[in-house]
Structure 1
Amino acid sequence: MTLEAFIQARLTLEPVPGVPEVRLHRAGPRSGLMRLAEADPDFGSPYWARPWGGGLALARYVLDRPDVVAGKRVLDLGAGSGLVAIAAALAGAGEVRAVDVDSYAVAAARLNAAANGVTMEVAQTDLLDGDPPDAELMLVGDLFYDPALAARVELFLRRCLAAGIAVLIGDPWRAPLPADRLRVVAEYPVADFGDPNGATRAAAVFELEG
């Protein structure tokens, strides 16, 4: 069975809690993700199989404020399941690109985009050490969960900001987030499935300022 067929067969396609406009293939207790992990030593953490708090908040904000993305070239950095990119496409973005370093995330994002009837480019790549991309708006959902990664992400986003790219970040106030250097523009209660207990918590949308 191919990865795409596995996701379609074992991860239920259903509306996202708090963002029902978007449907995702989401893992459940009987999805059998351990089969993928056992078959591939590079499987890693299946963060792409569940929506995380920062992505939920950012997707909700984009759908509530379509003017933020309307007609713009938008890039979803660390897209995971593609939730935020899909929300941007549904909200009227002119062009949407979703990137992630994980091949499983890329496969899931492509399937989820098709399931929601949106067109977007999905690519497996690491942009963090390169030049700013061709975009007008950078969307970043829940990439500040690890201190080392958070430092790389912030440096890259500041290069993007200096190049004239606006930056919006969704995050449930995780410890590595540089909150003192960000401006809160919205806040939402979310069911953060990135946490083991799936607890509901506050997540915010932040604007990166120079």
Structure 2
Amino acid sequence: MDKEQFIITQTAVGRSLLVTEIRLYLASELTPLWLATEDYLGRHNVAPPYWAFAWPGSEALARYITDNPSLVRGKRVLDFAAGCGLAGIAAARAGAAFVEAAEIDPLATEAIRLNAELNGVSLSVTEGDVVGRKGGWDVIFAGDICYEQKMAGLIVPWLQQQSECSIVLLADPGRKYRPDLSEQEIGQYIVPTSLELEDTKQRQVGLYAISNRSV
């Protein structure tokens, strides 16, 4: 079974509760992937399917983009650690001139392509780590990247560096390793969540404008 077939057969077309304008291939209570155990995924050499869910950070970003299209209209956009590609798709729908969605998981990159096609938009999908690349984007979006200490320690300083020439927005639902960005908060969203993924039925997601000053 190839990647496209795997995604289509293991998920169902659904919508984020916060961004109903966009359709996505998602795991749900009715799909095989939702019911698959970690042992099953390991035996089939499948990484945890983060791409099969609309995570709170990406939902908040996509809502903000959809409600504020001038932020990306005519701009070059990076959807970093894009997951299912929700924020990137929102940017493309809002009139971005170019959208790059970056992910390290090959199944995620295929899911992003399928989700973009589902919504009639075109994205440039990059499979691999873009941390370390310099510039090239007008706007960068990053959601839910602070749940691991090592990841946050590498990515947040890189985003701060990028802010010298790009608008950088980080959305975070209170993950453990998010640095203190309270002075850079530009908004909040209450995002409905599933108890299968989170320990609460909703998350308060902060939206932060990253700068290259110390945080």
Q: In structure 2, how many angstroms separate the alpha carbons of the residues matched to 1:45 and 1:132?
A: 29
Which residue of the partner structure matches residue 9 of structure 1?
A: 9
Number of paired residues? Answer: 206
Which residue of the partner structure matches residue 123 of structure 1?
A: 126
Distance change (3 Å), C-alpha of 1:95 and 1:201: same
| TM-score normalized by the length of structure 2 | 0.89
Which residue of the partner structure matches residue 44 of structure 2?
A: 39
Shift of 1:111: 0.4
| 1:71-125 CA-partner distances (Å, limit 9, x unpaired) | 1000000001000100111111111000011111101111000000001101101
Which residue of the partner structure matches residue 205 of structure 1?
A: 207
Which residue of the partner structure matches residue 189 of structure 1?
A: 190
3-state DSSP of counterpart to 1:21: coil
The letter of the residue matching 1:206 is Y
Which residue of the partner structure matches residue 113 of structure 1?
A: 116
Q: In structure 1, how many angstroms separate the alpha carbons of the residues matched to 2:73 and 2:211?
A: 21
Shift of 1:36: 4.8
Unaligned runs of 5+ in 1: none
Q: In structure 2, how many angstroms separate the alpha carbons of the residues matched to 1:198 and 1:119?
A: 34
| TM-score normalized by the length of structure 1 | 0.91
Which residue of the partner structure matches residue 140 of structure 1?
A: 142
Unaligned runs of 5+ in 2: none
| 1:163-205 CA-partner distances (Å, limit 9, x unpaired) | x111001111212111336511111110235834462121121
| 1:119-156 CA-partner distances (Å, limit 9, x unpaired) | 1101101012x232411111101111111100111121
Contact 2:58 2:86 in 1 (8 A): yes
The structure with higher relative contact order (CA 8 Å, sep 6+) is: 1
Distance change (3 Å), C-alpha of 1:118 and 1:54: same
Distance change (3 Å), C-alpha of 1:4 and 1:182: farther
The letter of the residue matching 1:134 is G
3-state DSSP of counterpart to 1:202: strand
Contact 1:99 1:124 in 2 (8 A): yes
Distance change (3 Å), C-alpha of 1:169 and 1:47: same
The letter of the residue matching 2:87 is V
Q: In structure 2, how many angstroms separate the alpha carbons of the residues matched to 1:180 and 1:204?
A: 9
Instruction: Return the match for 1:62 from 49, 61, 65.
Output: 65
Q: In structure 1, how many angstroms separate the alpha carbons of the residues matched to 2:30 and 2:2?
A: 18
Distance change (3 Å), C-alpha of 1:182 and 1:151: farther
Instruction: Return the match for 1:101 from 100, 104, 113.
Output: 104
Q: In structure 2, how many angstroms separate the alpha carbons of the residues matched to 1:161 and 1:206?
A: 12
Contact 2:147 2:176 in 1 (8 A): yes
Q: In structure 1, how many angstroms separate the alpha carbons of the residues matched to 2:55 and 2:141?
A: 14
Q: In structure 2, how many angstroms separate the alpha carbons of the residues matched to 1:182 and 1:93?
A: 28
Contact 1:181 1:209 in 2 (8 A): no
